Structure 1
Amino acid sequence: FEDIKNFVSFCSRNILVILGISCVIAVIALIAVGISHNKALTHNVKYGIVLDAGSSHTSLYIYSWRAEKENDTGIVQQIEECKVAGPGISKYFKKTHYISIKLTKCMDRARKVIPMSKHQETPVYLGAGEDMRLLRMESEQLADRVMAAVIRSLSDYPFNFQGATIISGQEEGAYGWITINYLLGNFIQKSKWLKEVSEGINHKKTFGALDLGGASTQITFVNEKYTLVSPENFLPFRLYGKDYNVYTHSFLCYGKDQTLWQKLAKDIQAILCSPPSHPL
């Protein structure tokens, strides 16, 4: 009887040991799966940097998206915004070396936000708008000097520099139209990544966009009927599996700042040209 009791005790201890080891192995396995899954998600996320060089200031935006696409188009979300100190880049045409100094704070911020392992594959792009278009009309040489300074500065950072250009008024209007309708969920109907964006929204048509900037105003909307009347004002896009033919037109010098300058110029001209008043 004593031998049987010892045998049962021995077996019980071994079973407890085996169960304990099994539990430890299971926990380690779960942790390993979790870590590998997290690494896979991190590895799958991509980043991009866009600098919007407007007439009054420059803003840096950092975006992220997963490698998987929705109807051949990526689902993008903004994760960071940084406003560059000082006026728009066109104001530095006499002191272009200041451009690099002004960009430093926001570009350093981008280096901290984006994982170091992603730096070399992260694209960087700067688009200059209305004020640079005006400067180019006044002096192409000065505009080239400003853009060359921008390119030198952005090329010094450990990102994948894609270029810096002065975008057309049509492009500016079209990008604004895409942004508005993207945020309203008009392009994404069944997104597995951004359900909260499109949930409850099922617009059959897109909204038009009116962008009142500092030096110009853009109007953009979808209009299939009049493409033959002014084909130069239409741009084709394919977004989330659907084709769009977008009418866009830019009214240069009709932004809020330029309109104010025109009003002030007319007032001054009226004062200077008015006949002098004589006391009775």
Structure 2
Amino acid sequence: MCCLVLTSAIEDSELKKFCSKNILVILGFSSIIAVIALIAVGMTQNKPLPENVKYGIVLDAGSSHTNLYIYKWAAEKENDTGVVRQIEECKVKGPGISKYVQKPNELDMYLTECMEKSKEVIPSSQHQDTPVYLGATAGMRLLRMENEQSAERVLAAVSRSLSNYPFDFQGARIITGQEEGAYGWITINYLLGKFTQKLSWLSFIPQSQETFGALDLGGASTQITFVPLNYTVESPENSLQFRLYGKDYTVYTHSFLCYGKDQALWQKLAKDIQAFSAFYFVMDFLNLTSEKVSSEEQMIEIMGNFCSKSWEEVKTSFPEIKEKYLSEYCFSGAYILSLLLQGYHFTNDSWEQIHFMGKVEGSNAGWTLGYMLNLTNMIPAEQPSSARLPHSTYIFLMVLFSLILVAVFITGIFICNKPSYFWKEMV
């Protein structure tokens, strides 16, 4: 019996040694593979890739002028947010295209300078794959209301001209006021990253972000677009729906034709009354874009001081500005204040929520980027399950997990060298 017990104890000890060594060898081997994999992924993740980019051109044919914008994005990441950026802006010399209704043949020369510049900025190998869009706004909407055939002739002349260039011309059209407002809303919130979901290494639950509303003031119209708090809209024609990165948005958007800066001034002069976007440019000129100017009383005071100056004093103070624009700043500033206070009913309490923006991270804050994103399907309906972690957080997690795996590996080696101690502790 004693021999049997002794033999059993020896066999049990050998079995424990065999099992512990094999289990821990596998554990150590797996740990090494995991560490190598983490390092390999980290090196691949941060390895710079050859630039593979795409370009797009959008012409904003406004009531008083036309601007051309060139956009650029990484082809591999065209469905991620925040990767599209504006690389060039060209102001077309001359008035808006609606003023060429009696001379449509001159539109070819009108567009030449900026289109030739586009050929220089965009590599020739990319010309054929670069889409070109022209969107006409309130000036052409007014012309179409007056004479639809004249508006069509202007658009046809513009289309013929743009088709002569080596780009992929996608058409010229008059966009509605609601579209103009909605595309501007998409632009602002896209550039400010409001369509993505916040994610940090401390909280792996994605959280949707609140969006900004958008106000735009052009020469012939003004637009307001926002997501209503109670998700109800007064009428169907003022409602647009989008699905952006897995979330549905119902926005209120309204365009007020003839309430643009130039149209308002024209009406004032015509009636001889004594009782972005222009929002940004006028306010910037009057030094009203600073966050230090945080109340309507301050705005009104600054406006009053400027408007009380004599014309000679104003010209002397701003010799570098064309008199045409200089002469309109007083009226434009007063009109903007009236529009915000009496028209949109902003108050002293909500004034701090207004931010006057001309550009966001180098991109114009108008509707053109949103227009291109929509037409090229650059914003997908669904977003990946999580946004990428910040680079510093990614490195931290890589180091942390690597240290954990190394610790496991060292522990495994220790157990393999002292199996009896390991089994004693387990018992």
Verify: 1:111 aligned to 2:119, yes or no. yes
Distance in 1 between residues matched to 2:238 and 2:193, nearest whole Å? 25
Distance in 1 between residues matched to 2:89 and 2:266, nearest whole Å? 30
Q: Given that residues 231 and 250 in structure 2 are in contact (C-alpha distance below 8 angstroms), is that contact kept between their aligned partners in structure 1? A: no
Q: Given that residues 72 and 241 in structure 1 are in contact (C-alpha distance below 8 angstroms), is that contact kept between their aligned partners in structure 2? A: no
Secondary structure, counterpart of 1:143 in structure 2:
helix
Q: Given that residues 198 and 208 in structure 2 are in contact (C-alpha distance below 8 angstroms), is that contact kept between their aligned partners in structure 1? A: no
Unaligned runs of 5+ in 2: 1-46, 200-206, 276-427
Structure 1 residue aligned with 2:269, among 264, 270, 274?
A: 264
Residue matched to 1:150 = 158
Structure 1 residue aligned with 2:188, among 180, 197, 214?
A: 180
Deviation digits for residues 88-146 of structure 1, max 9, x if unmatched? Answer: 00000000111110111110111111111111111000000000000000000110110
Residue matched to 2:174 = 166
- Bigger proportion of residues as helix: 2
TM-score by length of 2: 0.49
Structure 1 residue aligned with 2:50, among 7, 30, 41?
A: 41
Verify: 1:84 aligned to 2:84, yes or no. no
Q: CA deviation at 1:47?
A: 0.5
Distance in 1 between residues matched to 2:233 and 2:180, nearest whole Å? 22
Deviation digits for residues 166-206 of structure 1, max 9, x if unmatched? Answer: 00000000111111222222124579xxxxxxxxxx98211
Q: Would the alpha carbon gap of residues 228 and 171 (structure 1) be closer, same or farther in structure 2, given more than 3 Å must change? A: closer
Structure 2 residue aligned with 1:240, among 242, 245, 255?
A: 245
Residue matched to 2:254 = 249
Distance in 1 between residues matched to 2:68 and 2:140, nearest whole Å? 17
Q: CA deviation at 1:246?
A: 1.1
* Counterpart residue type for residue 122 of structure 1: T
State which drifts further: 87-96 or 181-190. Answer: 181-190
Residue matched to 2:358 = none
Structure 1 residue aligned with 2:228, among 201, 223, 228?
A: 223
State which drifts further: 258-267 or 112-121. Answer: 258-267
Q: CA deviation at 1:75?
A: 2.8
Distance in 1 between residues matched to 2:105 and 2:232, nearest whole Å? 45
Distance in 2 between residues matched to 1:223 and 1:68, nearest whole Å? 35
Q: Given that residues 82 and 193 in structure 2 are in contact (C-alpha distance below 8 angstroms), is that contact kept between their aligned partners in structure 1? A: no
Q: CA deviation at 1:244?
A: 1.3
Residue matched to 2:61 = 53
- Bigger proportion of residues as strand: 1
Distance in 2 between residues matched to 1:54 and 1:228, nearest whole Å? 28
Residue matched to 2:217 = 212
Residue matched to 2:279 = none
Corresponding pairs, count = 222
Q: CA deviation at 1:66?
A: 1.6
Q: Would the alpha carbon gap of residues 111 and 186 (structure 1) be closer, same or farther in structure 2, given more than 3 Å must change? A: same
Secondary structure, counterpart of 2:117 in structure 1:
helix
Q: Given that residues 212 and 256 in structure 1 are in contact (C-alpha distance below 8 angstroms), is that contact kept between their aligned partners in structure 2? A: yes
State which drifts further: 128-137 or 203-212. Answer: 203-212
State which drifts further: 218-227 or 206-215. Answer: 218-227
What are the residue-to-residue correspondences of 1:194-205 with 2, within 5 Å? 204-205=209-210
TM-score by length of 1: 0.73
Q: CA RMSD in A?
A: 2.5
Distance in 2 between residues matched to 1:65 and 1:117, nearest whole Å? 16
Residue matched to 2:405 = none
Percent identity of equivalent pairs: 74
Higher RCO (CA-CA < 8 Å; seq separation 6+): 2
Structure exhibiting the larger radius of gyration computed from Cα positions = 2
Structure 1 residue aligned with 2:105, among 81, 97, 101?
A: 97
Q: Given that residues 70 and 240 in structure 1 are in contact (C-alpha distance below 8 angstroms), is that contact kept between their aligned partners in structure 2? A: no
